[in-house]
Amino acid sequence: MIVLGIESTAHTLGIGIVREEKVGVNKKWDCLASQKSMFEPDQGGIHPRKAAEHHYQHALELLNNAEQEAGIDISEVDGIAFSQGPGIPQCLDTGAVIARSLAEKHGIPLIGVNHCLSHISIGTRTTKADNPTTLYVSGGNSQIIDYRKGRYRVIGETQDIALGNALDKLARTMGYPHPGGPEIERLAEQTDEIVELSYPVKGMDFSFSGIVTETQRTVGDLEDQVLANSFQEHAYAVVVEALERAMSQEDSEEALLTGGVAMNSRLREMVRTMCEQRGAKAYFPPKEYCMDNGVMIAEQGLLELKAGSKTRIEESTKKPNWRPDEVEVEWI
């Protein structure tokens, strides 16, 4: 089975193609193509209309490149998957329009998938984690998710902005370009000095708006390196503490770290240390699959198509606020 996936929830337009085939009694999985183009704002954050325009402008080029990379024609794929939500409405529309057009033109099943669950599915596929508790931290989402009894449950989540967005906002105030996460990481690596900031754990949830404002107020008074390091140490400890409590509550022996912020070495180190201390296993997907990409959407589409689900055109409208715990899981 071959599935093409289209990611377009925010800054990235991604086209991925995956294949799963039977080889004897085993199944062989391949990523046949991964193409992406990222919208990079000149200033400020992600402007919805400009990001959507970027996606429309790059769609044909990426589709052609993906066909070439995979050595197949789109008419040969068994399913067209797309990110139906959550995400920026204008951006979601672009992916949905491309997906519907291709599916209708070639008479191929359409599969609208949940973006958050795609991050988990590509994570378990590439790391072979079995049933992990996931810390999903990205530009738009920050959640701790666990699969129990037929559904993914959100055990903890941010009460305001996402961790990636917090890093981006802080970096912008300090005068660094978008995306801010890698800039903050680079600065933090240059010092061991830490100043005390608030520690925003709220039960199983957490919050980042306040600590961003608190840190932003000291920009210019303290060295950027010290601010970046202090922010990372506090904010990452918050999500790792919440992850540990979720694992303890759910009796989980595996942790999966995913989303764009999962690229961060210090966060990975904290998750690894916490898991070692609990005797649990920590899993980190390859970095190219942490940030938004089309391959994870193709993978999620493959899982759902194998389980027999398809999305009718009239049900394929965008779902900007679609939570992972609303999804009927039929593929596990």
Which residues form the interface with ligand AMP (CB under 6 A)?
A: 10, 138-140, 164-165, 167-168, 179-182, 185, 259-261, 263-264, 291-292
In a 13 Å sphere around the CA of 2, the CA atoms on its Cβ side amount to 16
Q: Measured from the CB of residue 48, what is the shortest distance to Mg ion in angstroms?
A: 16
168 binds, among Mg ion, ligand AMP, none (CB under 5 to 8 A by kind): ligand AMP
Q: Measured from the CB of residue 278, what is the shortest distance to ligand AMP in angstroms?
A: 24
181 binds, among ligand AMP, Mg ion, none (CB under 5 to 8 A by kind): ligand AMP
Indicate the length of the chain as a whole number: 332
Instruction: For residues 203 and 220, give the distance between their C-alpha atoms in angstroms, rounded to a whole number.
Output: 33
222 Cβ neighbours under 8 A, 6+ residues apart: 195
Given the complex with ligand AMP, which of 169 and 318 has the nearer CB atom?
Answer: 169
Q: Where in 181-200 is the site for Mg ion (CB under 5 A)?
A: none
Q: Is 184 helix (H, G, I), strand (E, B) or coil?
A: helix
Instruction: For residues 229 and 23, give the distance between their C-alpha atoms in angstroms, rounded to a whole number.
Output: 49
Q: Measured from the CB of residue 327, what is the shortest distance to ligand AMP in angstroms?
A: 18
Given the complex with Mg ion, which of 138 and 143 has the nearer CB atom?
Answer: 138
Q: Measured from the CB of residue 136, what is the shortest distance to ligand AMP in angstroms?
A: 8
Burial class (CB in 10 A: 0-12, 13-18, 19+), 72: middle
Instruction: For residues 257 and 268, give the distance between their C-alpha atoms in angstroms, rounded to a whole number.
Output: 8
The reply on whether position 292 binds Mg ion by CB under 5 A is: yes
Query: Strands 26-38 and 12-23, how do they pair?
Result: antiparallel
DSSP H helices, the chain, are 48-70, 89-106, 115-127, 163-173, 180-188, 209-216, 224-250, 265-278, 294-306
261 binds, among ligand AMP, Mg ion, none (CB under 5 to 8 A by kind): ligand AMP
Instruction: For residues 201 and 211, give the distance between their C-alpha atoms in angstroms, rounded to a whole number.
Output: 11
Q: Measured from the CB of residue 208, what is the shortest distance to ligand AMP in angstroms?
A: 11
The DSSP-derived string for 140-178 is: S-EEEEEEETTEEEEEEEBSSS-HHHHHHHHHHHTTPPS
Instruction: For residues 178 and 40, give the distance between their C-alpha atoms in angstroms, rounded to a whole number.
Output: 7
185 binds, among Mg ion, ligand AMP, none (CB under 5 to 8 A by kind): ligand AMP
Given the complex with Mg ion, which of 185 and 292 has the nearer CB atom?
Answer: 292
Q: Which residue is nearest to ligand AMP (CB)?
A: 260
291 binds, among ligand AMP, Mg ion, none (CB under 5 to 8 A by kind): ligand AMP
Q: Measured from the CB of residue 151, what is the shortest distance to Mg ion in angstroms?
A: 20
Given the complex with Mg ion, which of 227 and 289 has the nearer CB atom?
Answer: 289
- Say how many residues touch Mg ion, by CB under 5 A: 2
109 binds, among ligand AMP, Mg ion, none (CB under 5 to 8 A by kind): none
230 binds, among Mg ion, ligand AMP, none (CB under 5 to 8 A by kind): none
Given the complex with ligand AMP, which of 141 and 311 has the nearer CB atom?
Answer: 141
Q: Measured from the CB of residue 258, what is the shortest distance to ligand AMP in angstroms?
A: 8
Q: Measured from the CB of residue 183, what is the shortest distance to ligand AMP in angstroms?
A: 8
Instruction: For residues 220 and 242, give the distance between their C-alpha atoms in angstroms, rounded to a whole number.
Output: 31
Per-residue mark of binding to Mg ion, 134-173 (x: CB under 5 A): ----x-----------------------------------
What is the maximum alpha-carbon separation in the chain?
Answer: 65
Nearest CA among 330, 301, 317 for reference residue 81: 301
Burial class (CB in 10 A: 0-12, 13-18, 19+), 129: buried
Binding site for Mg ion (CB under 5 A): 138, 292
